[in-house]
Amino acid sequence: ARARNESAGVSTPAPVLVRAALKSTANLDFPQVTEICERLEVEPAELPETVRVLVDALSKHGGSTKSNHLRSKLRALTISNELMYNAQAVDAFRRQPGLPEELQQLRNVR
């Protein structure tokens, strides 16, 4: 997914980019993560919804297969980790109820 549609000059919102990145058929690469982070730097109003999408992905239990389920969580963690360089994103994550418990559950996955 590209944040900028060159022909229309329209930017793709960060939550849409994150949802696309979390799909089980999608590959997550560094340029995608960078694109999401850069989008949020110029459009900080998209942070709350983007963080909710990431936290929802971390909170989901089950899925089509265990490996797809864990891959989606790893993608969400990868994007979330890069967002820790953004102070506004850190604040948005801190405001998410239940996130510490979800992260603790992930630490216990074997």
3-class DSSP string for 3-66: CEECCCCEECCHHHHHHHHHCCCCCCCHHHHHHHHHHHHHCHHHHHHHHHHHHHHHHCCCCCCH
Segments of the chain scoring below 50 in pLDDT: 1-9
Residue 86: the pLDDT is: 97
* Domains in the chain: boundaries: 4-107
What phi, psi does 4 have (nearest 5°)?
A: -125, 125
- Please tell me the predicted confidence (pLDDT) of residue 2: 46
Predicted confidence at residue 47, as pLDDT, reads 98
Predicted pLDDT at 91: 97
Tokens of 85: 């360089």
Q: Does domain 4-107 have CATH number 3.10.129.10?
A: no
